[in-house]
Chain A
Amino acid sequence: MSYDVRERVTSRGSSSVVFAAIAVALVAAPFVLPVFQIGLLAQVLIFAIFATAFNLLYGYTGLLSFGHAMFVAASGYTVAIFIRTGSSTLGFAETFGGASVLVTFVVAVVLGVLVATLLGVFIGYLSVQLQEIYFAMITLSFSMAIYSLLLLDPGGLTNGSDGLSIFLSDVNLFGVEFALYNIRDPTVYYFIVLAVFAGAMFALWRIVNSPFGMVCKAIRENPQRTEAIGIDGRFHSWITFILSGAFSGLAGALLIPLRTGITPDLAYWSFSAEPVIMTVIGGPYAFAGPAVGAFVYLYLRWIIDSFPTFAEHWEFFFGFVLLLVVLFFQNGVAGGLVRARDWTVAGYGHYQRDGWSGAAGHLRATLVWFYDLTLSFVLGGLAAVAQWVTDRLRWFSRTFDRQSG
């Protein structure tokens, strides 16, 4: 049942047909989807960047960070502060005229990513000195420290628990007037997000498929052996941490306009859990896993929210789905999809060789396998219970014998 080393390290070539289909669907989406869905899909793309950046550390390098919310918050606050006061202080409106909102936004995003990167440099250096659970704990501590700092309203910058409210107003570019983010029709903002998403995912894909990415996987599989062949594992993890933080910051910068503001909640540990859950759902050992997880996570929440009965106990329903994914899919939904594809391809091979009877045989073999699996679960469970009962009985009888003896 385990997802073994061979499967973890061999990268499967993703079919270009699937890739093209997804690209076309994402470009066409705003023209066919209702307005609410456009905003939701933009959110999915942003969280896909966030989760994939997180997975650079988790799935690829084997370091579970439980504080990635700090990058989103650091970048988000930078964006909010710059849009609210920075651009007017620098006189952007006079310099750039109609395009000032756009220029402000672009500069704000760049600054946001820079701040997140700097944070990654400092916190990363301290964090990668530790491994495993200690690494998770130290990242959690740093992010909670930042959360408390944001609540304290240092220098009147963050406005405490009320947070900062922003709204991207109208842009006038060469006579064409449009709102950068129009809540009633977020198509423009969607395409901005889509463009950044495409660039970010390409960059991340190049990173994990480079020699650098290979070293990451080596560290994950066996840190001691990696050191033994002359790689500075700590330094390498540090650089990965910085990259992961920078891309998480990019996601944070894009998220703030959609939420029309930022509150310290975005730095709270529960927000750090979101990319973790998305990655587990999607599958950490596939590049697209976290993105698939982000899609499943947000749409599942949307479906649950649409039904008041579910919504009242959404944590329960969510936990149930998560349980199913972890129990029955190896490597999350992405792993499940890959298996489904392999199964279909194999079935098609049987059909080509032996016609329908071959396909039927393939299906029968699967059913038998599933039956055996279920049976082994049930029998295994029964056997365990039986074993437990006989053990107790034996213990009783032994105790009884001893007493009577």
Chain B
Amino acid sequence: MSSNQGRESDSGRTSSRRVGRRRFLAGVGASAAATSLSGCIGGLGGGGGGGGVKIGGVFLLSGLAEALGSASQAGAELGVSAVNEAGGINDEDVEIVFRDHNNGDAVSQIRSLVQEEQVDALIGLTSSGVTLSSAQAIRELGVPMTLTDIGTPWITEHDTETYGDFFNSDDGTAAGIPNLFRTNANTTTNTYAIAKYAVDNVGSGRIANIGPNYAYGEQTWDYFKAFADALGGDFEYVRSVFPELGASDMTPQINRVLSADPDLVFTSFWAGDAVTFVQQAVSQGLFEQVDDVFDTLGADPTVFSALGDTMPEGYHYSSWYWHSAYDNQANTDYVQAFKDANNGSIPSFTGPSTYSAIWLYKNAIENAGSTEPDAIISEMEGMEYEGPRGTWRIDPDSHQATAPTIIGETSTNDDVPYEGVGLDPVESVSLEKSRAQELLADSGLPPGL
């Protein structure tokens, strides 16, 4: 709810700035003539800079994953406000248009943004399946697209010789396309962080998996096992169960996990599923019966605040970002700006990836001096960025950001603006491409880094 109100206040700020620009134009000359003229001049003078850059955002904004999509929208809106405060792109305000891909037909929404709204660049998508099935449409449309919420490593894997072409073969997993980028850490880095923690701090024991019943749930478990083995862990994988996505009752699966008598439980729930799992696992006594519980994307303020004091302390939750994990000025400013714009709530785990995607476009378009897709793409390849998650860069070959992931211990010591746990201590984990290739070599899983 608070993020909703936050969105309103944020868009209110954006529109007030737009009035400012209009007032400026009115000062230049007769308002109507000046508005149309300035469009022409912008088109000519900017050397392709074009009158005002328009960005399209496609997220799941209703239904099951609304909490996640709306948080991403808030992050992107904050990025747009910040870029506009810093002079916009080529001294023109950036505009962002959002679309909901809830009806499963993301391709129509993307086509509409590119062909009707004439956007110069795209961000978004809240589902790995939708991303993979729209990838060829995105490639054909040619407009740069930055993924901000997507886990699957396949979409940034270009090595079709080793892993097979996803689009043309039955078991291919390399689905990288030239105009696609990603600013969040993908499943490779995410599961590496958890596997490394488990190997370093526990080392051996029985592990069971419980995750959502779709590609993400299966993939995270595969990658986790591959990393845990490659890092020298001595684990026994005793059970793996997958409740339906959005299931209201997970008790049968939780019981099956408990009956396997695990020492550790690996989970990959996010948003509403992460809340349901914890509520039902607590009442089944799962947290007391095992030594530790991991979650790939559970470390999120919306999850922890929804759980309140139900969320037990001392378990290790991970995600792509946590507000207190980064001690740098950019992060301090970012968290403060997010709080100001969103009624004091702290950014979700997709906040910085959406926020920085807007900044990447600003830098790329200004450096290129053009909104030509190819010019933006070649500027973005290898681009370095310093932001809330420290300094990282876009890998020139895979187009994956070398962005870190976080893992921390659930604790009430953290300073959070809601009733419930935060993370303390919390650490940021990065993974080098070469190291990932080496660790995953035996498994045949693509790193996508």
Contact = CB atoms under 8 A, between A and B. Distances in A.
Interface of A: 34-36, 39-40, 43, 84-85, 151, 156, 160-167, 182-184, 258-263, 265-266, 271, 301-302, 305-306, 308, 311-312, 314-315
A40 B104 CA distance: 16
A85 B167 CA distance: 10
Contact of B134 (A156, A260, A301): A260
Interface in B81-117: 97-100, 103-105, 107-109, 111-112, 115-116
A183 B133 contact: no
* Secondary structure type dominating chain A contacts: helix
14 contacts: A36-B111, A36-B115, A85-B170, A162-B133, A163-B132, A165-B166, A165-B175, A167-B136, A184-B141, A260-B133, A261-B134, A265-B104, A302-B112, A314-B100
B213 A151 contact: yes
Contacts of A308: 97-98
A120 to B, nearest CB: 24
Contacts of B104: 263, 265-266, 271
B111 A183 contact: yes
Contacts of B279: none
B375 interface: no
A160 B214 contact: yes
Contacts of B132: 162-163, 165, 261
B62 A263 contact: no
Nearest to A302: B112
Given A34-B116, A151-B213, A305-B99, A263 B133 contact: yes
Nearest to B134: A260
B48 to A, nearest CB: 20
Interface residues of B, number: 39
Given A162-B128, A163-B129, A312-B62, 12 more contacts: A34-B115, A34-B116, A35-B115, A84-B168, A151-B213, A163-B133, A165-B135, A183-B111, A184-B140, A260-B107, A262-B133, A305-B109
B26 interface: no
B113 to A, nearest CB: 10
Contacts of A260: 107, 133-134, 136-137, 140
B111 A39 contact: yes
A183 B137 contact: yes
B270 to A, nearest CB: 15
A402 B137 CA distance: 77
B439 interface: no
B40 interface: no
B282 interface: no
Given A305-B99, A312-B61, A156 B170 contact: yes
Contact of A161 (B98, B135, B137, B215): B215
